[in-house]
Structure 1
Amino acid sequence: MNRYARLALRMALVAVCALALSNLTEPFASRYASMLLQLARYGSPSPHLLSEDGVPSVRYTRLQDRYYHNPVYVGIYGLYYYDRWLESGRDDYFLKVYVRFSLYPPSGAPGDEIWRERFLATADWFVENLVVRRSHEGRVYGVYEYPFAWEFYNLSPPWQSGMAQGLALQVLLRAWQTTGEERYLTTAERVKQAFFVPTHEGGVTYKDTPDAWWYEEYASPGAKPSRVLNGMEHALVALHEYAAERGDAEARLLFERGLAALERTLANYSAPQIPWTYYDAIGTVANYKYHQINVNLTRYLYTLTGDEPLRIYTTWASWRTPFVVREFVRQRPNYLDLTILFLNFLFCGALLVVGRTLARFVSRPRNDPGSDPGGKGSDIC
């Protein structure tokens, strides 16, 4: 076998090893693959830029090279800061997944006052950046506007997010409970009102029936109805918390109508032929991160309500679909998938080099004076 044939064989073996290994390493490699992509494109491993007080802005690789405030991530960081301050673990059901895959928090010991300050900074951001609108029915409400387009769901700026509304509601409620400052509660009430307003009027709701309302993560007049599962479930968790903590009848009504809509459609997010879960209602297969979030959020809502249709999370949690099958066979891989495979290729290639080096070292003849007559070792006098 000539040199080039041996090289091709080794490359093929490394590729097979990388394909097999990626099925095991995806939960660990995803974060580093994302960081490598960011580093290659922008010279920085993190897509998040934190201000001095901890409010994040995000760089999107599909857009021009600039940072945007994403209200969803402002809310996620805010709840993370709240949890680090009180060490409650209250939001671990989703925060652990974000910390593992896509959160880049600042340093600090749990319980430090700096976490409280960072948490309140995110609450202040929500107060200062609320855009107040009036619906066609005269309802005054507030939303957080996204100033960039998102072509995948046909979103043109400014658009809004039901998930952002929900996370803001949680942060503002807890800021009011922490400080007693009415501005947080006043803002939270206007945030809540947006759930009554249909998407075609600038709100975040699809009113499927009078009693079943879907809260849309990617909401805008003319947008493709994506009905992203985790965004809807985050909104429901927030409405449940607000209703429970405030004894708020409107939030309770919004939660019940949202839960009814979720019950009607939840089974549609199962993809048993893969088997895995869908990210949205148009058939986008969830990546590993969002599959875990789908399971955890549905489980958490079940613990809050005992609602029987939500027990589907037990089926989802049992599914173990290999990365290669899910991301390369069942759908077209994206850049993150390819980078995960590339990292595994490098690792397997390094293992091959190390293995060959060790094999050569072990098989190398030893200079033994007693067993090498006529060799260098026998020349002892």
Structure 2
Amino acid sequence: MLSKWAYAALAIVLLLSTAIAGSAAYRYREQLITARQQLEDLDTWAPGIIRAYSAKREGISPRVEAKNYSPRGSYLGYKPRPPIDSGRMRFDAEGLPKVKYGEAYHYNPVTMAQFALGAYGGEGGPTPQFLVAVEKLISMQSPDGAFLYDFAFPKYATGEMYEPGWASGMAQGQALSVFARAYEHTKDTRFLIAGNKALEFMMLPVESGGTATTLMDFPPEPSENIFIMEYPQDPPVYTLNGYMFSLLGLLDWADVTGDLSVRMVAEKAMNTLKIVLPYYDLGVTSAYDLSYITVPTLANGNRRSPHALSAYHVVHIELLWALHSLTGEPMLEEFADRWLSYVGSK
């Protein structure tokens, strides 16, 4: 359940956005107009960029298990991951993953959450590694509920760096999906406590160190539309996959806990998704984020092209399927079908 403190934090997000939107012009009014015009002739604007990331050409297909998603079942078709070391990833003595950043290997909250979700979704049910990974995830949680990254990471759109100690809405959301399944599997109230703490931090406004913001800069949208930031920064880049992972976590938590207040927040977040989805549709693939709108100019003065990656396009389809499975929202199925047609399979 969201505490009074968490509701206050959410209220701050909404009040801040209302005040800012009411006192100044929307930051992205002109950029949105330009983007709409240029998307009509994308190949002339950015020749070859989108074709270079063709999921059809690379033979990548979405996992159909996502169509029948359940907060109590397999997570998007994830499977247990064998502890096989590589240059990028190594496994510790408990068989848990560490990822290389710079010259050192670190525990990554999202990697740990996804490892746990894979261990939950095997054909025979949760493997022993599921609860091992869940316990590790709890040990990584700060007292305020945050899952902090202990390494620096680049902000690709601006060239700046996140310093160690930064947080991500995607990590908070995927932790909710883990804790929902852990509680369902064990009925251990520690997982309820951990999940509620993760939720409270996720709903803190970015200005207060959290991961929640709104569409206050996008005319003429009302300021109460909640957006969870995978990469909290200003200007925001509105990363799509991280947002949908966070939304899936909200819906998982609402379903398993039966908390109507969480369901209400999830519905607000779902309304945001319906508003922004068209801006990610590039006609031949989907954009990774909206940096082509919010950070439209490169350091050399050239216009930024949409950031599009075939692997993420497939993830977008899987997430739309899962969210549609939970909500029945027709628009999600419409976009999933459209984006699937870009891959060339049905």
Q: What TM-score do you get using the length of structure 2 for normalisation?
A: 0.65
Quick one: which of 254, 267, 270 aligns to 1:243? 254
Distance 1:23 1:178 in 2: 36
**Is 1:214 matched up with 2:237?**
no
Letter in 2 for 1:65: E
CA contact (8 A) 1:195 1:254 kept: no
Quick one: which of 147, 152, 158 aligns to 2:150? 147
Partner of 1:66 in structure 2? 104
Rg bigger for which structure? Answer: 1
Aligned to 1:54, what secondary structure does the other structure show?
A: coil
CA contact (8 A) 1:217 1:231 kept: yes
Distance 2:277 2:55 in 1: 27
**Is 1:82 matched up with 2:116?**
no
Distance 1:24 1:174 in 2: 34
Distance 1:143 1:45 in 2: 28
Letter in 2 for 1:257: K
- Cα distance, 1:55–1:251 mapped onto 2, change above 3 Å: farther
**Is 1:204 matched up with 2:226?**
no
Distance 2:56 2:203 in 1: 44
Partner of 2:9 in structure 1? none
Written as runs of structure 1 = structure 2, the 5 A alignment for 1:163-202 is 163-202=170-209
Listed one character per residue, the Cα deviations across residues 229-276 of structure 1 (whole Å, up to 9, x for unaligned) are 11111111111111112111232122111111111111100112xx11
Letter in 2 for 1:280: D
Quick one: which of 326, 330, 342 aligns to 1:304? 326
CA contact (8 A) 1:176 1:185 kept: yes
Work out which structure has the larger RCO, using CA pairs closer than 8 Å and 6 or more positions apart in sequence.
2
**Is 1:278 matched up with 2:281?**
no
- Cα distance, 1:23–1:281 mapped onto 2, change above 3 Å: closer
Distance 2:192 2:316 in 1: 29
Aligned to 2:121, what secondary structure does the other structure show?
A: helix
Q: CA deviation at 1:130?
A: 1.0
Equivalenced residues, count: 245
Runs of 5+ unmatched residues, structure 2: 1-50, 61-84, 216-221, 293-305
Listed one character per residue, the Cα deviations across residues 114-135 of structure 1 (whole Å, up to 9, x for unaligned) are x5321111111221111123xx
**Greater helix proportion:** 1
Letter in 1 for 2:226: W
CA contact (8 A) 1:75 1:171 kept: yes
Runs of 5+ unmatched residues, structure 1: 1-18, 29-43, 88-109, 134-141, 322-381
- Cα distance, 1:123–1:45 mapped onto 2, change above 3 Å: closer
**Is 1:122 matched up with 2:144?**
no
Distance 1:308 1:166 in 2: 23
Q: CA deviation at 1:224?
A: 4.2
Partner of 2:90 in structure 1? 49
Letter in 2 for 1:304: L
Distance 1:213 1:23 in 2: 30
**Is 1:289 matched up with 2:319?**
no
Partner of 1:258 in structure 2? 269
Letter in 1 for 2:58: E
- Cα distance, 1:176–1:303 mapped onto 2, change above 3 Å: closer
Letter in 2 for 1:182: T
Distance 2:331 2:57 in 1: 32
Partner of 1:357 in structure 2? none
- Cα distance, 1:179–1:210 mapped onto 2, change above 3 Å: same
Aligned to 2:308, what secondary structure does the other structure show?
A: coil
Partner of 1:358 in structure 2? none
Letter in 2 for 1:215: I
Q: CA deviation at 1:195?
A: 2.8
Distance 1:164 1:210 in 2: 24
**Is 1:315 matched up with 2:328?**
no
Distance 1:180 1:298 in 2: 29
Distance 1:224 1:294 in 2: 23
CA contact (8 A) 1:198 1:207 kept: no
Q: CA deviation at 1:157?
A: 2.7
CA contact (8 A) 2:317 2:336 kept: yes
CA contact (8 A) 2:55 2:343 kept: no
Q: Tell me the percent identity.
A: 28
